[in-house]
Chains A and B, each alone.
Chain A
Amino acid sequence: MLSVRNLSAGVEDKPDILKSISLEVRAGEVHAIMGPNGSGKSTLAQVLAGHPGYVVTAGEVTYLGQDLLAMPPEERARAGVFLAFQYPVEIPGVNNAYFLKAAVNEQRTRRGEEELDAMEFLELLEEKLRLVEMDRSFVNRPVNEGFSGGEKKRNEILQMAVLEPRLAILDETDSGLDIDALRIVARGVNRLRRPDNAMILVTHYQRILQYIEPDHVHVLFDGRIVRSGGQELAVELERKGYDWIRAEAGAAQPAGR
């Protein structure tokens, strides 16, 4: 589904955040990208979604046979790429339901499907609210405005549930969540797992992986994937901490951070 080959990218002032990343994600898989702060996890998520503030200096990304990097962000979204933001953005005065309906219908129109009318959309929304265990009052508030950190994260999962992406990238969705909220979010995410979609979980902590079991775990350090493995790698990381990776990577590369 997603094939990342030798991807190097960064921002204008620091163009070498990601250094030759390669990653294969197949339909039905869940990949966890772990790593300490500043390792480039969020950069990877933003680059895949097409944030204009990032520049790709080398490598290529193929998504469902298409050149992902050549597509503007809205086309990536319409092709089924979804990013759950680490810091969801507030849009004052715009009703959450209105926002979601506009997004759903714009995506449907571009795919040549009929738009949903207000009633059909509300039905869909009710169903998805139940799926992610959210209160109805949620959808009539302005997008993310006045939401607590946890509410914002749950709102991202609601949007994901409604938009039904093929590839979902969850950027530190677990950070800032208390244990109950984490369980609810994880349950929602698990219910959205299907054989024909895939997820990339970007996380600092192993905690969420107790609830969402990944097929593959990758450790990102200083812009490189330094280790890949299964669930056991996450457990090992949690036990030993990132210092272990740091020491290992540092030994190989003295100039490292």
Chain B
Amino acid sequence: MSTTAKTLEALANREYKWGFVTDIEADTLPPGLDEEIIRQISARKREPEFMLEWRLRAYRHWATLQQSAGEPKWANISYPPIDYQQIVYYSAPKRKAGGPASLDEVDPKLLETFEKLGIPLAERERLAGVAVDAVFDSVSVATTFKEKLAELGIIFCSFSEAVQNHPDLVQKYLGSVVPYTDNFYAALNSAVFSDGSFCYIPRGVRCPMELSTYFRINTAGSGQFERTLIVAEEGSYVSYLEGCTAPRRDENQLHAAVVELIALEGAEIKYSTVQNWYAGDAEGRGGIFNFVTKRGKCAGRRSKISWTQVETGSAITWKYPSVILQGDESVGEFYSVALTTNRQQADTGTKMIHIGRNTRSTIISKGISAGRGNNTYRGLVKILPRAAHARNYTQCDSLLLGDRCGAHTFPYIEVANATSVAEHEASTSRISDDQLFYCKQRGLSGENAVNMIINGFCKEVFRNLPMEFAVEAQKLLGVSLEGSVG
């Protein structure tokens, strides 16, 4: 084995630090899915009638899909069939009856869990400048800085609270970007989703802190189905972060989330993800199936939606954060780093749908494959006839580490008018022995050399992440930001 391969092997086999389990009493529905389970989820959450109706419509649609086409089969991934009747769809840590708990009422074990994950929720230890909604299995356990944000008219709360306290907003926007008919997993999520985060930024308000949701799967055999809805009114701005981890287990667990973003005229939403679900072991046992639908709508003129994702976890990632560029002069961006090691599979990319005039989109995708990982970029740039003078720039780079991994690119470009321009650049490279030798000749260890080269490869994406996240992302890729100059 060459020195490059050895270094990479070591890097790929790093321990998963977040693999512990919290022992906590849970209110868990029996496994399996039918209308009764959905009624029970809805009843537990004391939802208004419109929510139950919507869930049931979604369920019936999903059931017909299940009978006919089943799961989408076009992605470049393979996995054993999922038995949807074996999955637990609702599991919540037990708590006193009554509305959402205040922080004092939250089980200390939960606070401890999040603290261990580096997300302290207690007042005095909170992360400065970041408001956090902590989601544990099926429910949100705490949301910080809620009152402070409310002074500006910003609503930041769990989805369950939003359904109770702002049903009109939920009813207006839920499913408006990702309808339950969108795809198999979106239909499933719409039927059974139990919590998630809700953000509403009023007109002209610039959200003064990062909003963040941290997702934690804990219960064995359960799936996590959360939903995030962010509405940015005219001229507002928000930056939102999302992180996630799960215990190490030999069985696969399903995570099927939906994220919907709506940016009205002149509004800007920046959405960043560091995805670090348990990826399975070196032989491919266990790990999260991450089947996620994320889409934003630039509904108003000059609005902007920017997705940045660093995907390092999950056994399988199936995810295409997209932007519908409806408003004239609106802007969509997608910056992505996807790392697959061991036997991880990722089929990820984006869709940029240009509807409005003078709309612009940028796609920067960096795929890193190591071990026996399989990494696919799949992207669609669609410019409709009305979208005069639309522009897209796509750059799609793959880095291969070792000789047993794969990188694939499936770019689709459809331009339906004569004034628009779509550019696509792609490259595939490896870390060469010469690069490694050059670094070592300057005294760097092989591991540091590889880290540095990977870090350089991802730079264009990392610099779009908020500071705290950039640090975390680099650490995840085995890279330390320490000592960065200039």
Query: Which A residues have a C-beta under 8 Å from some C-beta of B?
Result: 49-53, 72-74, 76-78, 82-83, 85, 88-95, 97-103, 105-107, 110, 115, 118, 121-122, 139-140, 142, 159, 163
Measured CA separation A88–B442 after assembly (Å): 12
**Stretch of B195-203, B286-294, B478-486 with 4 or more beta carbons under 8 angstroms from chain A:** B478-486
Smallest beta-carbon distance B464→chain A, Å: 14
- Per-position contact with A for B442-486: 1 when CB-CB < 8 Å, else 0? 111110100011011111100000000000000000000001111
CB–CB B3/A52 < 8 A? yes
Give the residues in chain B near A76, CB-CB below 8 Å: 441
CB–CB B438/A139 < 8 A? no
Given A74-B440, A88-B438, answer yes or no on A98-B460 (Cβ-Cβ < 8 Å).
no
CB–CB B444/A142 < 8 A? no
Give the residues in chain B near A90, CB-CB below 8 Å: 435
CB–CB B484/A110 < 8 A? no
Measured CA separation A107–B441 after assembly (Å): 11
Measured CA separation A24–B131 after assembly (Å): 66
Given A52-B3, A93-B457, A93-B458, answer yes or no on A73-B440 (Cβ-Cβ < 8 Å).
yes
CB–CB A73/B486 < 8 A? no
CB–CB B455/A139 < 8 A? no
Smallest beta-carbon distance B76→chain A, Å: 26
Give the residues in chain A near B434, CB-CB below 8 Å: 89
A93 is contacted by which of B438, B441, B445, B455 (Cβ under 8 Å)?
B455
Can you name 13 extra interface pairs (CB under 8 A) apart from A83-B441, A89-B432, A102-B452? A50-B440, A52-B3, A72-B440, A74-B441, A74-B446, A93-B458, A105-B483, A106-B444, A106-B448, A107-B443, A110-B443, A118-B483, A139-B486
28 contacts between A and B (CB under 8 A): A51-B437, A52-B2, A52-B433, A73-B441, A74-B440, A74-B443, A77-B440, A77-B441, A77-B443, A88-B438, A89-B432, A89-B434, A89-B435, A89-B437, A91-B439, A91-B452, A92-B456, A93-B458, A94-B459, A97-B485, A100-B442, A102-B444, A103-B439, A103-B442, A103-B444, A106-B448, A107-B443, A159-B442
CB–CB A98/B484 < 8 A? yes
CB–CB B452/A78 < 8 A? no
Give the residues in chain A near B440, CB-CB below 8 Å: 50, 72-74, 77
Q: Which residue of A lies closest to B460 (CB)?
A: A93
Measured CA separation A82–B440 after assembly (Å): 10
B435 is contacted by which of A50, A51, A74, A91 (Cβ under 8 Å)?
A91
Given A77-B442, A142-B456, answer yes or no on A98-B437 (Cβ-Cβ < 8 Å).
no
- 8 A-B pairs with least C-beta separation: A93-B456, A94-B456, A103-B442, A89-B438, A93-B459, A77-B443, A107-B443, A74-B440
Interface centre among A76, A93, A98 (most CB of B within 10 A): A93
A92 is contacted by which of B437, B457, B486 (Cβ under 8 Å)?
B457
Given A103-B442, A103-B444, answer yes or no on A94-B453 (Cβ-Cβ < 8 Å).
yes
A73 is contacted by which of B437, B456, B460 (Cβ under 8 Å)?
B437
Give the residues in chain B near A95, CB-CB below 8 Å: 484-486
Interface centre among B433, B434, B442, B448 (most CB of A within 10 A): B442
CB–CB A74/B444 < 8 A? yes
Measured CA separation A100–B3 after assembly (Å): 22
Measured CA separation A122–B459 after assembly (Å): 22
Give the residues in chain A near B442, CB-CB below 8 Å: 77, 99-100, 103, 159, 163
Interface centre among A92, A107, A140 (most CB of B within 10 A): A92
- Per-position contact with A for B401-441: 1 when CB-CB < 8 Å, else 0? 00000000000000000000000000000001111011111
Give the residues in chain B near A98, CB-CB below 8 Å: 452, 483-486
Measured CA separation A140–B441 after assembly (Å): 21
Measured CA separation A116–B395 after assembly (Å): 37
A121 is contacted by which of B457, B458, B485 (Cβ under 8 Å)?
B485
Measured CA separation A33–B241 after assembly (Å): 58
Interface centre among A73, A83, A100, A140 (most CB of B within 10 A): A73
Smallest beta-carbon distance B438→chain A, Å: 4
Measured CA separation A123–B484 after assembly (Å): 15
Q: Which residue of A lies closest to B445 (CB)?
A: A74
Measured CA separation A82–B441 after assembly (Å): 7
Interface centre among B435, B456, B457 (most CB of A within 10 A): B456
Measured CA separation A91–B437 after assembly (Å): 12
Given A52-B3, A88-B438, A118-B483, answer yes or no on A78-B456 (Cβ-Cβ < 8 Å).
no
Give the residues in chain A near B453, CB-CB below 8 Å: 91, 94
Measured CA separation A85–B435 after assembly (Å): 12
Q: Which B1-15 residues have C-beta < 8 A from chain A? A: 2-3
CB–CB A99/B441 < 8 A? no
Q: Which residue of A lies closest to B397 (CB)?
A: A92
Measured CA separation A119–B269 after assembly (Å): 36
Give the residues in chain B near A97, CB-CB below 8 Å: 485-486
Q: Which residue of B lies closest to A85 (CB)?
A: B438
Give the residues in chain A near B455, CB-CB below 8 Å: 93-94
CB–CB A94/B452 < 8 A? yes
Give the residues in chain B near A102, CB-CB below 8 Å: 444, 448, 452, 483
Q: Which residue of B lies closest to A84 (CB)?
A: B441
Smallest beta-carbon distance A64→chain B, Å: 16
Q: Which residue of A lies closest to B451 (CB)?
A: A102
Give the residues in chain A near B456, CB-CB below 8 Å: 91-94, 142
Q: Which residue of B lies closest to A139 (CB)?
A: B486
Smallest beta-carbon distance B277→chain A, Å: 27
Give the residues in chain B near A105, CB-CB below 8 Å: 483
Q: Which residue of A lies closest to B4 (CB)?
A: A52
Smallest beta-carbon distance B292→chain A, Å: 28
Smallest beta-carbon distance A164→chain B, Å: 12
Given A91-B453, A102-B448, answer yes or no on A49-B433 (Cβ-Cβ < 8 Å).
no
Smallest beta-carbon distance B385→chain A, Å: 38
Measured CA separation A73–B441 after assembly (Å): 6
Give the residues in chain A near B452, CB-CB below 8 Å: 91, 94, 98-99, 102
Give the residues in chain B near A77, CB-CB below 8 Å: 440-443
CB–CB A140/B435 < 8 A? no
Give the residues in chain B near A49, CB-CB below 8 Å: 441
Measured CA separation A50–B446 after assembly (Å): 14
Interface centre among B445, B455, B457, B485 (most CB of A within 10 A): B485
Give the residues in chain B near A103, CB-CB below 8 Å: 439, 442-444
Measured CA separation A140–B486 after assembly (Å): 7
Measured CA separation A102–B484 after assembly (Å): 9
Q: Which residue of B lies closest to A74 (CB)?
A: B440
Measured CA separation A163–B457 after assembly (Å): 25
Give the residues in chain B near A115, CB-CB below 8 Å: 483
